[in-house]
């Protein structure tokens, strides 16, 4: 089937990838103009989160005309596409192959979470095992400058002139992008702590996130609860077998803690459903889907997805799920699913807030591929997945160790969880 003859959202729904380009890249001016038009139209027609951004996107052709005409190298062309897409402020959008110094994806490459606060940024979370943690940056610290530029000015520059710099959500997006940084570039911050003098911190170019080998780790807590932590492995089909083995070894426990706090890169539904099926005694809904423009603008498709039981036994002990800002995409889907199944209590911070499900859009002449959210995802109660928050919020505090895991253990030691 020719992808270009059907709307991308329809192809996504029936399981046909929109990217099938396999030829040599054509970087002629004609090709660049044609592919930028393809991109502009795909966003206008198929991107499901364009509401509120239509005004700025409607002028993208005129505003980027000179850059399209000047981008005669593959790297320059990729940078044009990346910069245009960044105006949508959506970390779930990606470009392949990217430019040499592209902004890195959040939360996959993020090691800090921060919020704008006046003229500074306040650190609200630090990723365990990250360069930022090794450098001594801690929750509660204040970032005063990024790359030698005052935080407020850096945010304004990241946003650009086409979008509102006064919108809090825009400023939050820009700040997270800035503290995550660019590929092949080091990051420099001026950081202060209550009662202390500002200090300069430089983080290395090569990112290193410490995690155990293998798709997951399993253990028992001192109280005898099972603990399974996924190691950013929701895209690895071997994770299903590893989870089955871990669950068999923990079958005798009266409660299990499922730690999804290292799933920033998302994954695929087969792995997620394979894990969720071990907690389902019967078929049960776990999330809702919506494609608002299904084949034509006035037709939409809505459906509810179910989890089916899987494996030699259903784990029936109590279940607590741990999440934080590094629970992304498919990890978020698992969290809302287990909550919707009324099977677990979810504890932690807000999650990665990656919106919807993506499908590939080919820019066929220049050889780039854009991953674009074309399908909305919801908790079964109607809350958009990226807006859903855990029923029990635990905000990290300075010097607090692992308060999310501690809260889970306290909860499981107490009276049965009310659902």
Residue 382 counted as domain residue:
no
Q: What is the pLDDT along the chain (419 residues), one digit of tens a residue?
A: 334 334 444 444 444 445 444 456 899 999 999 999 999 999 999 999 998 888 888 899 999 999 999 999 999 999 999 999 999 999 999 999 999 999 999 999 999 999 999 899 999 999 999 999 999 999 999 999 999 999 999 999 999 776 777 888 999 999 999 999 999 999 999 999 987 889 999 999 998 998 898 999 999 999 999 999 999 999 999 999 999 999 999 999 999 999 999 999 989 999 999 999 999 999 999 999 999 999 888 999 999 999 999 999 999 999 999 999 999 999 999 999 999 999 999 999 999 999 999 999 999 999 999 999 999 999 999 999 999 999 999 988 877 789 999 999 999 998 554 44
Q: What is the pLDDT of residue 16?
A: 44
Burial class (CB in 10 A: 0-12, 13-18, 19+), 377: buried
Domain that holds residue 28: 3-96
Instruction: Return the DSSP state at 30.
Output: H
- 195 with 267, same domain: the answer is no
Q: What is the pLDDT of residue 165?
A: 73
- 273 with 408, same domain: the answer is yes
The torsion defined by the Cα of 71, 72, 73 and 78, in degrees rounded to 10, comes to: 30
User: What's the token pair of residue 67?
Assistant: 């850059």
- Residue given tokens 């940078």 in the structure block: 79
Q: Which residue, among 139, 142, 137, 153, has the nearest Cα to 202 in the 3D structure?
A: 137
CA 334 to CA 339: how far, in whole Å? 9
Residue 364 counted as domain residue:
no
CA 63 to CA 229: how far, in whole Å? 46
End-to-end Cα distance, the chain: 47
- 235 with 344, same domain: the answer is yes
What are the backbone angles phi and psi of residue 332, rounded to the nearest 5°?
-65, -40
- 157 with 21, same domain: the answer is no
What are the backbone angles phi and psi of residue 192, rounded to the nearest 5°?
-130, 160
Q: What is the pLDDT of residue 2?
A: 35
- 189 with 89, same domain: the answer is no
Which of 47, 64, 96 represents a domain boundary (last residue)?
96
Q: What is the pLDDT of residue 13?
A: 44
- 274 with 408, same domain: the answer is yes
- 270 with 405, same domain: the answer is yes
- 188 with 221, same domain: the answer is no
Residue 195 counted as domain residue:
yes
Integer angstrom CA distances of residue 109 from 60, 85, 97, 98: 28, 18, 17, 15
Residue 366 counted as domain residue:
no
CA 20 to CA 8: how far, in whole Å? 12
Residue 375 counted as domain residue:
no
- 270 with 407, same domain: the answer is yes
**Number of independent structural domains in the chain:** 3
Residue 54 counted as domain residue:
yes
CATH of the domain at 190: 2.30.42.10
Residue 358 counted as domain residue:
no
Residue 418 counted as domain residue:
no
- 268 with 400, same domain: the answer is yes
- Residue given tokens 């502009």 in the structure block: 40
């Amino acid at each position: 089937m020719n992808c270009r003859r059907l709307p991308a959202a329809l192809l996504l729904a029936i399981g046909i990838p929109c990217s099938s380009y396999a030829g040599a890249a054509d970087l002629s001016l004609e090709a660049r103009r044609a592919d930028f038009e393809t991109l502009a139209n795909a966003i206008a027609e198929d991107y499901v989160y364009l509401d509120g951004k239509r005004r700025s996107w409607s002028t993208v052709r005129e505003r980027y005309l000179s850059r399209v005409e000047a981008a005669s190298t593959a790297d320059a062309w990729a940078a044009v596409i990346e910069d245009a897409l960044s105006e949508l402020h959506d970390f779930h959008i990606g470009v392949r192959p990217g430019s040499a110094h592209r902004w890195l994806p959040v939360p996959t490459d993020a090691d800090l979470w921060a919020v704008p606060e006046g003229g500074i940024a306040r650190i609200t979370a630090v990723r365990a095992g990250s360069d930022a943690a090794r450098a001594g940056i801690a929750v509660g610290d204040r970032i005063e400058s990024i790359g030698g530029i005052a935080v407020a000015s850096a945010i304004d520059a990241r946003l650009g002139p086409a979008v509102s710099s006064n919108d809090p959500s825009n400023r939050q997006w820009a700040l997270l992008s800035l503290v995550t940084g660019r590929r092949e570039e080091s990051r420099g911050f001026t950081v202060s702590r209550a009662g202390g003098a500002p200090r300069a911190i430089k983080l290395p170019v090569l990112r290193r996130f410490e995690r155990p080998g293998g798709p997951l780790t399993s253990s028992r807590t001192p109280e005898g609860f099972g603990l399974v932590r996924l190691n950013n492995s929701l895209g690895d089909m071997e994770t299903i077998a590893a989870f089955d083995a871990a669950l068999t070894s923990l079958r005798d426990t009266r409660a299990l803690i499922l730690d999804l706090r290292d799933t920033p890169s998302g994954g695929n539904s087969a792995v997620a459903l394979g894990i969720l099926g071990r907690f389902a005694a019967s078929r049960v809904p776990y999330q809702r889907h919506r494609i608002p423009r299904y084949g034509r603008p006035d037709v939409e498709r809505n459906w509810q997805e179910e989890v089916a039981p899987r494996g030699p036994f259903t784990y029936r002990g109590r279940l607590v799920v741990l999440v934080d800002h590094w629970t992304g995409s498919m990890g978020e889907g698992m969290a809302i699913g287990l909550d919707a199944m009324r099977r677990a209590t979810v504890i932690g911070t807000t999650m990665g807030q990656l919106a919807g499900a993506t499908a590939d859009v080919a820019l066929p002449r220049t050889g780039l591929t854009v991953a674009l959210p074309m399908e909305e995802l919801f908790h079964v109660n109607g809350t958009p997945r990226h807006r859903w928050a855990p029923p029990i919020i635990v905000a990290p505090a300075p010097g607090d160790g692992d308060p999310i895991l501690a809260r889970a253990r306290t909860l499981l030691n107490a009276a049965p969880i009310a659902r």
